[in-house]
Amino acid sequence: MTSAISIGISGLAGWRVLQRTETRQIEATAKDPVIQRATAYFRENLTSETTAADLVGDYKMLQVALAAFGLEDDLPNKAFIRKVLDSDTGDSKSLANRLSDKRYLKLAKEFQNLADTEATSNMVAEAYVQQQFQKRVGEGNEAYRLALNARKELQGFAARTSSDRTMWYEVMANETLREVFEGAFGFSSSIANLSVDRQLDEFMSASDRILGTSSFAEMSKPEVTDKLITRYLALSQMQTSVSSNRYSAALALLSR
């Protein structure tokens, strides 16, 4: 695959450059021969008869499917993924529904309804390219990868009918999305030591105070999402600068 996507500058200035060049960068990612082969293989082998066992048993197909949903780290956990795919998505007590990270439920739903394999293939291929783009951005700047992921996830929340409290629980269970909110709200890692309900109250209170809303219908609006990401990147850059200055100061003292 191609090398990491490097913007050349960091912080908010680099984020603005990334936004301006994003479409071109995604197109370049999609044209990568390795990615083209991966998506072509998936398209060629997905049929309306594809079962959970078929998908889990085909490493190449599974890698594309999981990566499309941001679950590539679960590639070695085939038995677990098989159980997720075989879950009854209509049963609130099934594994896919009980998992707090709802990406697994989305995965199960997508591959339990393969009546229109072309639509599924197109969706998975597009999502796979997006994830590979984010991955390459992350190799150059991890904060930008997290910001891109947060923007995408919040866009998806816009069409949801779940309650805001339910979606906040999902944010808290989604490691990459949670990191952006924690960073934007100035939370330390110690917040994880609080009870889940207390954490929820803290997240919602901070969102109302900083973003002006704790409603995902509002947060999914471009201007509010941009406010969240801008604050996250600004505070992230400040922390990086402080750490760098401390390191430089320590080196100066040691060199005396």
pLDDT tens digits, 186-235: 999 899 999 999 999 999 999 999 999 999 999 999 999 999 999 999 99
Domains of the chain, CATH where assigned: 1-140 (1.10.3700.10), 141-247 (no CATH)
**According to the 3-state scheme, what is the secondary structure of the chain?**
CCCCCCCCCCHHHHHHHHHHHHHHHHHHHHCCHHHHHHHHHHHHHCCCCCCHHHHHHCHHHHHHHHHHCCCHHHCCCHHHHHHHHCCCCCCCCCHHHHCCCCHHHHHHHHHCCCCCHHHHHHHHHHHHHHHHHHHHHHHHCHHHHHHHHHHHHHHHHCCCCCCHHHHHHHHHHCHHHHHHHHHHHCCCHHHHHCCHHHHHHHHHHHHHHHCCCCCHHHHCCHHHHHHHHHHHHHHHHHHHHHHHHHHHHHHHHHCC
Categorize the per-residue pLDDT at 27 as very low, low, confident or very high, splitting at 50, 70 and 90: very high
Categorize the per-residue pLDDT at 251 as very low, low, confident or very high, splitting at 50, 70 and 90: very low
pLDDT tens digits, 118-148: 999 999 999 999 999 999 999 999 999 999 9
Q: Is the pLDDT of residue 242 over 90?
A: no
Q: Which residues contact 199 (CB under 8 A, 6 or more apart)?
A: 172, 191, 192
Give the per-residue pLDDT at 217: 93
